[in-house]
Amino acid sequence: MTAISLEFYPPKNDEQRAQLDRTVRRLAPRAPQFVSVTFGAGGSTLSYTPETVRSLRQDHGLDAAPHLSCMGGTRAELRELLQLYRALGCRRIVALRGDLPSGMARMGEFRYASDLVAFIREEHGDHFRIEVGCYPETHPQAEDALADLRHFKAKVDAGADSAITQYFFNADAYFRFVDDVRAAGVGIPVIPGIMPISNFSQLRRFSEACGAEIPRWMAKRMQAYGDDAESIREFAADAVAAMCRRLLEGGAPELHFYTLNLAKPTEAVLSRLG
């Protein structure tokens, strides 16, 4: 059985909570190794991530790993969050630099994810397994690909245990990235991040923002289907599943699905993988 993990985002109202609950009930039987919960940055949204982590652990019995971001406030606020997560029973953290939310004028006290990883290690030793992010197609704000590689190595040197990639649709980009990090002396697992496709225009928007390339042949095929949502979903599930198969055959340790709190697109890919 393919080892998988899932990403959810914290719901902010009753309707979103019901949606997440339905999604989790459908995907939980797939026995994910863990589920991660993205970081609600800025003001009151800060509380949504811990609430969601608590619910996933207590109501669904899942190993929930909160995202922690450099944008999460001061050293004292992050210290408090880490203590809360430890009290909830969390043994895994996803440590990210994060993006400055719109309307926020300043960064937190940590500038880079490597600083955050070092802080978690100083505060809690080996209690948490620390996952970090990485970019097979290069971080959109990196000076260049080699600088991006150096930033990634700094996170590993600071104490990261494994990495989850930004999503991509080109398996060769993943394999090349793994070769590059191994050549740089990095031995931690690099887990491919998988984006099941439910909505092409939304995907295009996300991809422009995060620097993920949609291969021209995929984009052209999805454009050709026009408003035929069913055909887009079927084609997308086939294409993403074929890539997953290739990744696993090429040695990927597991697959991390960006669910967008939807069950169907992830289920469609997993059912094709068998």
As a whole number, mean pLDDT of residues 32-54 equals 81
Question: Can you give the pLDDT at residue 41?
Answer: 54
Domains of the chain (ranges; CATH) run 4-273 (3.20.20.220)
Mean pLDDT value across the chain = 91
Residues recognised as catalytic: 7
Q: What φ, ψ does residue 61 adopt, rounded to 5°?
A: 65, 30
Compute the average pLDDT of residues 7-27: 95
129 pLDDT above the threshold of 50:
yes
pLDDT score for 105 = 45
pTM beyond 0.75: the answer is yes
Q: What is the pLDDT of residues 156-197, one digit of tens each?
A: 999 999 999 999 999 999 999 999 999 999 999 999 999 999
What integer pLDDT is reported at residue 96 of this predicted model? Answer: 92
The whole-number average pLDDT for the span 22-27 is 97
